[in-house]
A and B are shown apart, each in its own frame.
Chain A
Amino acid sequence: MTGLTQSLALWYFTRGSGAMSLVMLTLAFALGTPTLLSWGTERFPRLVVQLLHRNVSLLVTVFIGLHVATTVIDGFAPIGWIDVFVPFRAGYRPIWLGLGAVAVDLLLAIIITSLLRVRIGYATWRYVHLLTYAMWPIALMHAIGTGSDARAPWMWWLDGICVAVVIACTAWRIIERRPADDRARLAAVGAIVVVPLLIGAWMVTGPLKATWGHTKHKPAPAVQPVDTTGGTGP
């Protein structure tokens, strides 16, 4: 396999695992709401919902691990291990990639505090866990901003469904567990209306335009394409 084909394989894997990560993250988020609301039935007791949320969230780390590893190992773009955790340093689309690093940092904080919940106490754990509401939109913007598939219809559908699920779950949460005071309630309702609109507006003016991706930032490939028309093979 040529260097380019290998790189291309990794590149596809990165994009694929990225899309899967977003789906899994959305699923984990969606399971968080019935967990919080202590929703349960005879068939699906609360403890099952709770465990599903926990296990899917842990599975998310596997997918994101693969996504991140393939990105770094694939030398096509100059992204090192440190760029996975420290945002906005990379040579390739620093902002959008950086958002991915931010999301990874937040996810790590959330996962670690959840594993150590009994030791750190409820109040601390809860404040960190609320960061999920920031992490998910950031992960989405990373996906849209860096992804070369932003304009592909299938990606559009995928993103759309994920966004719809997150908005629906957040709305369900706000309705069932009204925030204590009016200001918090107003802020929450405002957020689920304004944030999607902002992201939508950005998408229309940015990633969805035909010129997105064809920016000056496109890096020189680290591996030169091999001339396969003649000469010695690999």
Chain B
Amino acid sequence: MALGQRIRLDIIACDGRGVCAELLPERIELDDWGYPIIDQTPMRGLVLEHARRAVAACPVLALRLEAAT
């Protein structure tokens, strides 16, 4: 059974805009300076759908989904 997917962050591209945290509060929290702290628990189902939206909504496309190993 597939483990699920998790989010990979390009921290260099990330600009701390915070859209991802609004769309995926289940997995993403912002640190004191607005940058995402991402929970690496694998995602499936509904939360994965939210994750896809968060990835597409990132203003600088700093997020990517990859298979959890």
Residue positions of A touching B, CB distance < 8 A = 35-36, 38, 40, 45-47, 50, 117-118, 121-122, 125
Residue positions of B touching A, CB distance < 8 A = 13, 17-19, 22-23, 55-57, 59-61
Tell me the nearest residue of chain A to B64, going by C-beta. Answer: A118
Q: Assuming A118-B56, A122-B13, is B61 touching A47 (CB within 8 A)? A: no
Partner of A118, one of B18, B19, B22, B61: B61
CB <8 Å contact, B59 and A35: yes
CB <8 Å contact, A46 and B19: yes
Kindly state the separation between the CA atoms of A121 and B18 in the bound complex, as whole angstroms.
19
CB <8 Å contact, A46 and B61: no
Kindly state the separation between the CA atoms of A210 and B38 in the bound complex, as whole angstroms.
64
Partner of B18, one of A35, A36, A46, A125: A46
Chain B residues with CB under 8 Å of A121's CB are: 61
Kindly state the separation between the CA atoms of A34 and B12 in the bound complex, as whole angstroms.
22
The 7 closest A-B pairs by CB, nearest first: A38-B17, A122-B61, A47-B22, A46-B19, A45-B22, A122-B60, A47-B19
Q: Assuming A46-B19, A47-B19, A122-B13, is B59 touching A38 (CB within 8 A)? A: yes
Chain B residues with CB under 8 Å of A50's CB are: 19, 57, 59
Q: Assuming A38-B18, A38-B19, A122-B13, is B57 touching A47 (CB within 8 A)? A: yes
Kindly state the separation between the CA atoms of A118 and B23 in the bound complex, as whole angstroms.
17
Quote the shortest CB–CB distance from B54 to chain A (angstroms). 9
Kindly state the separation between the CA atoms of A121 and B61 in the bound complex, as whole angstroms.
7
Quote the shortest CB–CB distance from A220 to chain B (angstroms). 52
Quote the shortest CB–CB distance from B25 to chain A (angstroms). 11
Quote the shortest CB–CB distance from A138 to chain B (angstroms). 25
Kindly state the separation between the CA atoms of A227 and B60 in the bound complex, as whole angstroms.
63
5 pairs, A vs B, C-beta closer than 8 Å: A38-B18, A46-B22, A50-B57, A50-B59, A118-B56
Quote the shortest CB–CB distance from B63 to chain A (angstroms). 10
Chain B residues with CB under 8 Å of A36's CB are: 59
Chain B residues with CB under 8 Å of A40's CB are: 18, 22
Chain A residues with CB under 8 Å of B19's CB are: 38, 46-47, 50
CB <8 Å contact, A47 and B60: no
Kindly state the separation between the CA atoms of A45 and B23 in the bound complex, as whole angstroms.
10
Kindly state the separation between the CA atoms of A233 and B20 in the bound complex, as whole angstroms.
66
CB <8 Å contact, A47 and B23: yes
Kindly state the separation between the CA atoms of A38 and B18 in the bound complex, as whole angstroms.
8
Kindly state the separation between the CA atoms of A68 and B11 in the bound complex, as whole angstroms.
44
Quote the shortest CB–CB distance from A23 to chain B (angstroms). 26
CB <8 Å contact, A46 and B13: no
